[in-house]
Amino acid sequence: MDHDQAGQAKDLHRTLEFIGLRAQATSVGLIQLCAELVRAGVLNDDAIERIKDAIYRDITVSRPRSSSSGEFERTLRQRLNAIFPHAESTEQRTPVGTLKEMESALDPEAKDRSQT
């Protein structure tokens, strides 16, 4: 991600937080909308990838600095791929993992703290 994209992603992130669109309900609605649009033939895999890329950029600019960048980004990509539809199949492809696994990916130090 280049500097301009990172700046735009940070601005959008702050705006969304300000208006309160960081809720799970909004995410569920977006995923369902994407599934419906794929099913109707309006969105293809390239469009879904661009949507996931936008989400990816926002999350990576706001991730905790203490987490491993490479591992965090790989885990994030896998989970986005698991929850978004694909043109050849609108069904969920793989489980996204447990809440504890996601917390660990977001903040690896939390795992260390809980083991002490």
* DSSP annotation string for 86-97: BTTB-S--S---
Determine the structural domain holding residue 32 and report its residue range: 3-114
Question: How confident is the model over 24-45, as a mean pLDDT?
Answer: 86
Condensed to tens digits (0 to 9), the pLDDT of residues 68-80 reads 778 888 888 888 8
- Provide, for the chain, the percentages of residues in helix, strand and coil under a 3-state DSSP scheme, each rounded to the nearest 5: 70, 0, 30
Q: How many domains does one find in the chain?
A: 1
Q: What are phi and psi of 86, to 5 degrees?
A: -120, 145
pLDDT tens digits, 59-111 = 888 776 766 778 888 888 888 888 888 877 544 445 556 666 666 666 666 55
Mean pLDDT, the chain, as a whole number? 76
